[in-house]
Amino acid sequence: MLQTNQSSNDQGDLLRALNEPQRIAVTHVSGPLLVLAGAGSGKTRVITHRIANLILHEDVQPDRILAVTFTNKAAAEMRERVQRRLAGHPFNAWIGTFHSLCLRILRQDGTRIGLAEGFNIYDGDDQRALVKRILKAEGVDRSAGPPRSFLSKISRAKNGMISPAELEKQSYSPEGRQAARIYGLYEQALRRANAVDFDDLLVRTLELFREHEEVAARYASRCEYLLVDEYQDTNRPQYLLVRFLTAAHGNICVVGDEDQSIYRFRGAELRNILEFEQDHPDTTVIRLEQNYRSSDTIIRAASAVIAKNVFRKGKTLWTDNDRGDPVELFCASDDRLEAAWVSQRIQQLADSMPLEEIAVLYRTNAQSRQVEEMLRRDRVPYQIVGSVQFYERKEIKDLLAYLKLAANPSDDIAFRRVVNTPTRGIGATTLSRIDDVARGLGLPLMEAAGHALQQGLLPQRAAGRLQEFLDFVTTRMHVADDQPVADLLERLVEDLDYEEYLEKAFAGQGGDRMENVLSLISAAAEYADEVGGGDLQGFLDRSALVAGADEVGERPGVTLMTIHCAKGLEFPAVFLLGLEEELFPHAMASGSDEDIEEERRLCYVAMTRAMKRLFVSHAAVRRVQGALIPHPPSRFLSEIPTDLIQDVSPVRVPGFFDQTPLGDSGSSGGGSSAARAANRRSTAPPPVVAGPSRASDAEDGYSVGSRVIHPRFGVGQIVNREGKEKHLKLTIHFSDHGQKKILPAYTKLRVES
């Protein structure tokens, strides 16, 4: 009796700090359980307390409990918190990631599907080396793309449970069929090497379970209780693994939040959590709706945004926290002013909180450049999380190296960086001979390369490729002092076919990296505007100062990151930038309702990172590839109730263009939205300049009434023009994007014939 009372008291201690829904989730014992855990609602506490309760008060053996999550860090934290709760009680439950679980299974039973006990796991470098050998053996031309590009396609196929043969059947292009063939050869090579890659850890475990039902049954029998964290992020293989492991007992508890499902690009399937009750008809559903993180204002604002989504289970978040300050809105005339406001506001906040408690979040990596420059200018320390600083990104350093070599042919570091970037077949043997000449004659590498060609020291094929490179660089040397830097960069990107190179070299990341390149071109155009022209060396000096001053690295300071990197984190103060149509939601996400809902979930995740203060901003004009492009405020701004907003924008912000109305995407009915307030206050009307009235009036072809094709906005019609030559500014109406101001000198604009 004494022991029973003690046990009851222990359970009371275990449950005392929990709210009622949390207690129900922790003490639920039998059958499927779906815990819909809102942002900041204490889901990790529920998982760890549930494991402790099963062991301490339901007499479940620890080794019959399996808990899986997505990162090693999360798994380690979960294990540590459970062990603290058990206070010395024997503990050997399986807690880890899906990949670590599958590795453990394959180590024990992988021989049944042909894996030897000592099979190797290939990491990324091993995979690239293997594919590189296959491509070489098959005589695949380099223009087909680097190994990384093929590996990306292979990984997508594996996570989609698509075999090489199935991929070939689904392919309707030579490139697709080639990728399927390389995929098949890659799989054969892995098996010959008795190796697996990380995707195989999941897929081959499924293969084991499917081909050996007794093995699947044994693991399912052992897995009396299964807990899955972040269930909204599971992909197809993980979903199937869960089904296998719960076949015997059916005691599955999944914890997740469909409103925070933001990894569809990695294969996550939202339907896994939305359809959980269909998969498990006797499911108990518990909603954790009390938020412990954020102020009432932040919760209400974020909830109003996510409520617009249709594909969700639905939750009503609330908090006992103070109402807090309103969401602060700043409508900037351009992206540079937006960044300046962020830096200024951070300095004001620093009087009352450490910089480490402040985060700046953005939709794309390219947005960080302006903020970084302003923070450096104002000597505000910061660090980049999940990325590298703008001027340290490979694509930026490569292009700057070309400019440095054009400005200073004696720069050997720049020469080495670009001589074979993009790949042009100048190999190690050729570079070694150039090095020999440079050392022997005491010359820079650029000049030594010319000597090597004159002296016939290189094979004909290598000599031809090197001569092409030298001609490419010297052409830029001759025009470097005569062309605006933005023009020089744009021509460089075009002549290198750099966009195509990025797509092939960085599969799945080419678009983001190209956005960084366009941001660099914008930086060059801004530099020219600021100094009234400016030469190449001046721009390089400015870039070096911005990139090199006060190297903060991992030093404490403000945290800058994309929203995807911020998942699972929290900060007392959060700045959310770039709330504009075509940026957030992103232009790439405009194809379907599902795309927009994913973007809205991303916005919700960003807003709910904030604990006390939330700042949101947008720029009426953002420079894209040198062109000043206006965008209306994001539809997500229109979804925040105006009584939660404090608009701190100037009464009239100087700008270039009127905002394009959101149309049906804003809220309707009485009252004005935050987006409409932004529209009213963000810009002054543009000057009205009469343009040609007939197509024949413009010698450059950009006549009022002419139809043009823009690489991003598609087909449009010129409705006005002002200025001429490099300063020509066109007003173009695009059927899908409304009215835009375009600078033809800084973009590829084609007149329809």
Q: Which of 109, 199, 229, 269 is catalytic?
A: 229
**Phi and psi at residue 364, in whole multiples of 5°?**
-125, 150
C-alpha 502/C-alpha 139 separation (Å) is 22
- Structure tokens belonging to residue 104: 């453990």
C-alpha 273/C-alpha 538 separation (Å) is 55
CA distances from 125 to 141, 178, 315, 458 (A): 21, 22, 44, 31
Residue 609 appears among annotated catalytic residues: yes
Q: Could you tell me how many helices (H) and strands (E) the chain has, helices first?
A: 30, 21
Bridge partner residues of 721 (DSSP): 730
Q: Residue 729 in 3-state DSSP?
A: strand
Bridge partner residues of 718 (DSSP): 732
Q: Which of 199, 224, 230, 335 is catalytic?
A: 230
Q: Which of 609, 622, 635, 741 is catalytic?
A: 609
C-alpha 676/C-alpha 143 separation (Å) is 49
- Cβ neighbors of 613 (< 8 A, separation 6 or more) are 324, 325, 328, 349, 572, 573, 574
Closest CA to 107 of 121, 96, 126: 121
CB of 315 closer than 8 Å to CB of 290 = no
Q: Residue 403 in 3-state DSSP?
A: helix
Q: Which of 23, 43, 315, 635 is catalytic?
A: 43
Q: Which of 11, 27, 44, 467 is catalytic?
A: 44
Residue 229 appears among annotated catalytic residues: yes
Q: Which position has the token pair 């690009």?
A: 265
Closest CA to 639 of 665, 621, 660: 665
CB of 178 closer than 8 Å to CB of 208 = no
CA distances from 569 to 66, 167, 357, 574 (A): 25, 38, 11, 11
Residue 43 appears among annotated catalytic residues: yes
C-alpha 219/C-alpha 64 separation (Å) is 10
Closest CA to 311 of 688, 111, 649, 598: 598
Q: What is the DSSP track for 523-562?
A: HHHHHHHHHTS--HHHHHHHHHHHHHTT--TTSSSEEEEE
Q: Which of 178, 234, 260, 430 is catalytic?
A: 260
Q: Which position has the token pair 């960003």?
A: 606
Which long-range contacts link 397-404 to residues 24+ away (Cβ below 8 Å)? 399/489, 399/492, 399/493, 399/498, 399/517, 399/520, 400/520, 400/540, 400/543, 402/473, 402/476, 402/492, 403/476, 403/480, 403/485, 403/488, 403/489, 403/492, 403/536, 403/539, 403/540, 404/540
C-alpha 86/C-alpha 79 separation (Å) is 11
Count CB neighbours of 659 within 10 A.
Answer: 25
| Residues annotated as part of the active site | 43-44, 229-230, 260, 609
